[in-house]
């Protein structure tokens, strides 16, 4: 069974990555997915206002899980097993690479928008994944 990491950020592109994996499952691929969302670190204002780091962690966790819901629902409806991971801080690409290593995934499937110059240049997170992942990275391009 192939273990697949799919980064989810709530965009059309990340959902295209989920649909791509489901299309492969439809052709007979046996897969188990790890859906991942990386939340930005709290800024100084948020830290001062919240006063309690646990509050910020809870808000980040809830926001990440909310963004993962549509992808999880698609996978569940198709009978594809999935785990969810929300990372609360850190740079996106290194956090995703760490998750890929920790979960022992076989491939990363990432969605990428393709407007304008992006037809020739990948986004920084996608490029970082392609250059540094220890496993193959499939980029699912989404046009306008």
Predicted confidence (pLDDT) per residue in 67-86, tens digit: 999 999 999 999 999 999 99
- Give me the percent of the chain exceeding a pLDDT of 70: 83
pLDDT band at 41 (very low <50, low <70, confident <90, very high): low
Is residue 59 within 8 A of residue 42, CB to CB? The reply is no
CA distance 41 to 116: 29
What domains can be seen in the chain, in order of their start residue?
A: 2-142 (3.40.50.620)
Structure tokens at 120: 């020739």
pTM for this entry: 0.87
Structure tokens at 62: 């809830």
pLDDT tens-digit map of 43-57: 565 555 666 767 667
Task: Tell me the C-alpha to C-alpha distance, in Å, between residue 136 and each of 5, 38, 43, 100, 143.
Answer: 11, 20, 33, 11, 22
Top pLDDT among 61 and 51 is at 61
Q: Residue 90: in which H helix or E strand, if any?
A: none
Strands 2-7, 107-113: pairing is parallel
pLDDT tens-digit map of 104-139: 999 999 998 865 544 455 678 888 999 999 999 999
């Amino acid at each position: 069974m192939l273990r697949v990491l799919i980064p989810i950020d709530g965009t059309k592109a990340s959902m295209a990555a989920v649909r791509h994996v489901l299309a492969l499952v439809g052709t007979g691929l046996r897969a188990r997915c790890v859906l991942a969302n990386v939340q930005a670190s709290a800024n100084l204002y948020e830290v001062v206002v919240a006063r309690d780091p646990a509050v910020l962690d809870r808000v980040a966790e809830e926001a990440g899980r909310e963004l993962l819901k549509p992808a999880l629902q698609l996978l569940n409806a198709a009978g594809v097993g999935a785990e969810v991971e929300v990372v609360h801080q850190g740079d996106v690409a290194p956090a995703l690479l760490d998750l890929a290593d920790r979960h022992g995934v076989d491939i990363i499937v990432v969605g990428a928008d393709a407007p304008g110059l992006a037809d020739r240049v990948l986004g920084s997170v996608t490029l970082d994944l392609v250059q540094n992942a220890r496993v193959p990275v499939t980029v699912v391009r989404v046009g306008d």
